[in-house]
Amino acid sequence: MNQEGSRTLALGIDAGGSYTDAIVMDVKSRIVLARAKTPTTHQDLIIGMMKALEDLMIQRAFDNHEVRFVGLSTTLATNSILEGKGGRVGLIGIGWNPGNDWAPGSDMSVYISGGHNVKGGVEHGLDERGLREGVDSMEGKVDALVVSSKFSILNPAHEERARALIREYSELPVIAAHELSKDLGVRERTVTAILNGRLLPIIDDFLNDIGFMLRKQRIDAKVMVLRGDGTMMDIETARARPVETIMSGPAASALGGRFLSHQEDCIVVDMGSTSTDIVYIRKGLPTVRQEGAVVGDRRTHVKAMDALTIGLGGDSHIQRGKNDRIEIGPQRVVPLSMAALRLPGLTERLRRREGNLFLIPHNSKVDKLGGREDELYRYIRDNAPCTLQQVIDENPRIVTSSRIIDRLVDYGNVIMTGLTPTDLLHVKGRFLPGDEDAAYHGLLHEASAANMTPQQFMDKALHRIVSELGMGIMRKVLIDETNDITLSSSMSRLLSTAVGDGFMDLIDINMRINIPVVGLGGPSYVFLPPLQDRLGVEVIIPMDNDVGNAVGTICSKVSEYSSAAIRPLKGGGYEITCSFSNRAKALRLHEAIERAKEMVTENAIRRAAEAGGVNISVEVDVDRSNFNNIDGSADVDRIEVRARAVGDPMGVMLRS
Q: How far apart are CA 120 and CA 609, in angstroms?
A: 28
Instruction: Name residues of the chain where pLDDT drops below 50.
Output: 1-4, 626-636, 651-653, 655-656
Cis peptide leading into 530, omega within 30 of 0? Answer: no
Q: What is the pLDDT of residue 394?
A: 86
Residue 576's H or E segment, with its range, is strand 574-577
pLDDT tens-digit profile of 24-72? 999 888 899 999 998 888 778 889 999 999 999 999 899 988 999 999 9
Q: How far apart are CA 153 and CA 171, in angstroms?
A: 25
Q: How far apart are CA 520 and CA 307, in angstroms?
A: 14
Nearest one of 649, 648, 640 to 617, comparing CA atoms: 648
Q: Strands 517-520 and 539-540, how do they pair?
A: parallel
Q: What is the pLDDT of residue 471?
A: 86
Nearest one of 535, 552, 483 to 291, comparing CA atoms: 483
Give Cα separations from 64 to 20, 209, 264, 330, 625 (angstroms). 20, 18, 31, 43, 52
The pTM of this model reads 0.78
Residue 634 DSSP label? -
Q: What is the pLDDT of residue 637?
A: 64
Write the single-letter amino acid at 318.
Answer: I
Q: H helices of 106-247, where?
A: 128-138, 157-169, 186-216, 235-240
Q: What is the pLDDT of residue 487?
A: 67
Nearest one of 219, 234, 68 to 651, comparing CA atoms: 68
Q: How far apart are CA 46 and CA 41, in angstroms?
A: 8
- At 342 the three-state DSSP class reads helix
Nearest one of 269, 311, 310 to 286, comparing CA atoms: 269
DSSP 586-615: ESSHHHHHHHHHHHHHHHHHHHHHHTT-EE
Nearest one of 209, 233, 270, 286 to 50, comparing CA atoms: 209
What residues does each domain of the chain span? Answer: 89-195, 316-452, 556-648
Q: What is the pLDDT of residue 595?
A: 94
Q: What is the pLDDT of residue 225?
A: 92
Q: How far apart are CA 22 and CA 13, in angstroms?
A: 4
Q: What are the residues facing 627 on neighbouring strands?
A: 636
Q: How far apart are CA 34 and CA 422, in angstroms?
A: 25
- Number of residues written out for the chain: 656
- Main-chain dihedrals φ then ψ at residue 127, nearest 5 degrees: -80, 90
Q: What is the pLDDT of residue 296?
A: 60
Residue 390's H or E segment, with its range, is helix 388-394
Kindly give the interhelix angle for 436-449 and 454-482, rounded to the nearest 10 degrees.
Answer: 90
Q: What is the pLDDT of residue 635?
A: 40
Torsion over CA: 337, 341, 346, 347 (sign): positive
Q: What is the pLDDT of residue 656?
A: 47
Residue 345's H or E segment, with its range, is helix 345-351
